[in-house]
Amino acid sequence: MNIMDETSGKEASATRGAYMSLRDMILTGALPAGEKLKIEQLRKLLDTGASPVREALSLLTSDMLVERIDQRGFRAAPASTENFAEILKLRCVLEDMALRQSITLATPEWEENLVLAHHRMKQLTGAATFEDAHKLFHMALLANSSSPMLERFCSQLYDLNIRYRNLASSGRNYQKRDITAEHEEILACAVRRDADATSTALLSHYRLTGAYLTTQLVNL
């Protein structure tokens, strides 16, 4: 009598459901940075038991979204301009590395998946699921590095960056940039297998966003 799958709101396990919800709440800022995360409170909010909440929080620790202090519970990872700067720097180094490895090892499958991810992202401009498609595109760039740990680091850092994007976006996103064109450029360079050009385009894409976000984050 269990119909639960990707389509259903219900997750496969209570822990996974709690993990997803809490992750989303931290990334969007529904749970503010630095906030104490009380088990009982979250248990009621998510309408589940204490064990799944606790386990989900432990898991979120891996993603650096939650801090755990022995014997005194959990809190949402604090946010600061220093932390944001660190994330940007690490992303640039690690994605550069992953990207170059991906291109060095380039295969037709990798290229096709990349084109596909880009296409899907374009279709969804503005949609709620655009964020997901955007991440999938960027991860598709790195997906051929044959370095799982490196990709995991990049994925984590990507999410942390999204979080700052959300924290900053009270005054709506008005940049004089053509993000779509930047993505096209990145894709074109990658398909051309030009590692230097792709890296330049990608890092510039990140650094422009980073510089813009930094100006919005003065209140942190």
Partner DNA sequence: TCTGTTAAAAATATCGATATTTATTGACTT
Partner DNA sequence: AAGTCAATAAATATCGATATTTTTAACAGA
- The number of beta carbons lying within 10 Å of the beta carbon of residue 160 is 23
Binding range to its own copies, per CB under 8 A, among 35-43, 79-87, 132-140, 185-193: 79-87
Sign of the alpha-carbon torsion through 154, 159, 163, 165: positive
Select from 162, 174, 105, 171 the least CA-distant residue to 138. 162
Report d(CA 112, CA 78) in Å as an integer: 39
- Residues between 112 and 141 with contacts to its own copies, criterion CB under 8 A: none
- Specify which residues 66 forms β-bridges with: 76
Q: Binding string, 20-59, against its own copies, x = CB under 8 A? A: -------------------------------x--xx--xx
Closest to DNA by CB, 6 vs 82, is: 6
By CB under 8 A, tell whether 89 contacts its own copies.
yes
Q: Residue 199 has which token pair? A: 């890296």
Instruction: Tell me which residue has tokens 């088990």.
Output: 39
**What's the closest the beta carbon of residue 140 comes to its own copies, in angstroms?**
20
Binding region for DNA (CB under 7 A) out of 67-75, 103-111, 194-202, 206-214: 67-75
147 binds, among DNA, its own copies, none (CB under 5 to 8 A by kind): its own copies
93 binds its own copies (CB under 8 A): yes
Count of beta carbons in the 10 Å neighbourhood of residue 70: 5
Q: Residues in the site for DNA, rule: CB under 7 A?
A: 2, 12-15, 36-40, 48-52, 54-55, 70-74
